[in-house]
């Protein structure tokens, strides 16, 4: 199955050196707990950090500018007030175009952001949170920003203080799904940017399942991406999974709020959550696919069924099983 999300390199420092953090975290999170966050913070981490997260290095593995760069360009350099900032971000995300973009260098380097649907009101909440509060920034960002003619960088906004609460099983399952999606997405988008769509197909064919399995090992869980119209036969949904795919499709068609399905059975937890298409997905899963891409798909997957989608449609689900904690 799809979903952008490529290559992980973990750099470890041995000996007596401490590993340096890759970004400035505000505030620090506790293990197996989550912050009682401002809605905008949770939404930003859920929907934006797959591509715009603070942890990737400046050059290696980064597929989009960090969120703090967007904030710096529009608020600290551009002088946008809160109303202007929320409106501009919302308008751009709903229909990204090069003409609307202020960050032309980022667009040239990483490509234009794919169009995708977000829950109603979520982009506004994200922009509001970015304006009002300090957000995580990569450790390299200050020197990068100042080297581009912006001296004495100091992020605007107040520090955010959150109450720590214990995660429920829905939160845990969603974390596993989104972190796996992030890994797959980064690698996939990076491959598309550097080598093109054909190479991305080869990447998915060879690396998607091993990367997913590596995340399953990390979380001591079973993590699957399954579909009713699978590309890889190993991603074929079973009877139970088909039921939830149909359920999520109906909810999406009615534009209802989508919530994970969590089922507790003995000492195990079953978690189901939809995988939706965006414009980038349609290069290989849409209705108008280039002939050379179609040829490569059929070469790799002779019985492929994973085509014919529009934007923001359910293409499958995350099916995750983990032990109760």
Per-residue pLDDT, 31: 41
Please report whether residue 30 resides in a domain.
no
Domain boundary among 112, 143, 161: 161
Mark whether 130 and 267 lie in a shared domain. Answer: no
Please report whether residue 314 resides in a domain.
yes
Q: How far is CA 165 from the centre of its chain?
A: 24
Per-residue pLDDT, 14: 30
The token pair at 220 is 């001591």
Mark whether 93 and 173 lie in a shared domain. Answer: no
The token pair at 309 is 């989608």
**Helices 82-94 + 122-132 axis angle, to 10:** 140
Mark whether 171 and 319 lie in a shared domain. Answer: yes
Mark whether 233 and 194 lie in a shared domain. Answer: yes
Instruction: Please tell me the total count of domains within the chain.
Output: 2
Q: pTM of this prediction?
A: 0.71
Q: Which domain holds residue 44?
A: 38-161
CA atoms within 13 A on the CB side of 182: 23
CA atoms within 13 A on the CB side of 155: 25
Mark whether 126 and 185 lie in a shared domain. Answer: no
Mark whether 125 and 192 lie in a shared domain. Answer: no
Encode the chain (325 residues) as per-residue pLDDT tens digits: 443 433 333 323 233 344 445 555 544 444 444 445 688 998 898 889 888 988 877 777 688 899 999 999 999 899 999 999 999 999 999 899 999 988 988 888 888 888 887 888 999 999 999 999 999 999 999 999 999 999 999 999 999 887 777 899 999 999 999 999 988 988 888 888 889 999 999 999 999 999 999 999 999 999 999 999 999 999 999 999 999 999 999 999 988 889 999 999 999 999 999 999 988 899 999 999 999 999 999 999 999 999 999 988 999 999 999 999 8
Please report whether residue 24 resides in a domain.
no
Q: How far is CA 187 from the centre of its chain?
A: 11
Per-residue pLDDT, 24: 55
Mark whether 149 and 192 lie in a shared domain. Answer: no
Opening angle at CA 273, ends 253 and 112, nearest 5 = 70
Mark whether 207 and 241 lie in a shared domain. Answer: yes
pLDDT digits (tens, 9 = 90+) for 261-280: 999 999 999 999 999 998 88
Calpha distance 188→209 (Å, rounded): 13
pLDDT digits (tens, 9 = 90+) for 96-113: 999 998 898 888 888 888
Please report whether residue 293 resides in a domain.
yes
Mark whether 206 and 265 lie in a shared domain. Answer: yes
CB 318 within 8 A of CB 273: yes
Buried b (16+ CB within 10 A) or exposed e, 239-268: eebeebbebbbeebeeeeeeebbbeeeeee
């Amino acid at each position: 199955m799809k979903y952008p999300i490529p290559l992980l390199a973990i750099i470890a420092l041995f000996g007596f050196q401490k590993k340096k953090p890759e970004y400035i975290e505000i505030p620090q999170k506790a293990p197996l707990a989550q912050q009682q966050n401002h809605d905008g913070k949770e939404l930003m981490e859920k929907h934006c950090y797959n591509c715009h997260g603070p942890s990737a290095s400046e050059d290696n593995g980064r597929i989009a500018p960090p969120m703090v760069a967007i904030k710096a360009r529009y608020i600290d350099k551009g002088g946008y007030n809160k109303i202007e900032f929320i409106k501009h971000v919302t308008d751009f995300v709903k229909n990204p175009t090069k003409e609307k973009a202020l960050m032309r260098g980022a667009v040239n380097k990483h490509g234009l952001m794919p169009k995708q649907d977000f829950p109603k009101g979520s982009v506004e909440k994200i922009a509001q949170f970015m304006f009002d509060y300090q957000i995580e920034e990569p450790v390299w960002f200050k020197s990068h920003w100042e080297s581009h003619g912006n001296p004495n960088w100091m992020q605007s906004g107040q520090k955010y203080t959150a109450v720590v609460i214990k995660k429920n099983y829905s939160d845990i399952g969603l974390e596993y799904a989104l972190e796996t999606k992030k890994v797959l997405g980064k690698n996939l988008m990076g491959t598309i940017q550097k080598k093109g769509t054909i190479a991305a197909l080869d990447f998915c064919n060879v690396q998607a399942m091993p990367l997913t399995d590596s995340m399953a090992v990390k979380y001591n869980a079973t993590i699957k991406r399954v579909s009713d119209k699978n590309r890889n036969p190993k991603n074929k949904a079973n009877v139970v999974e088909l039921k939830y795919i149909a359920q999520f499709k109906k909810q999406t068609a009615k534009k209802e709020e989508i919530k994970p399905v969590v089922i507790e059975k003995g000492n195990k937890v079953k978690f189901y959550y939809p995988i939706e298409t965006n414009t980038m997905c349609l290069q290989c899963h849409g209705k108008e696919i280039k002939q050379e891409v179609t040829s490569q798909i059929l070469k790799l997957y002779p019985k492929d069924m994973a085509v014919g989608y529009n934007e923001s449609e359910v293409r499958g689900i995350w099916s995750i099983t983990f032990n109760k904690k």
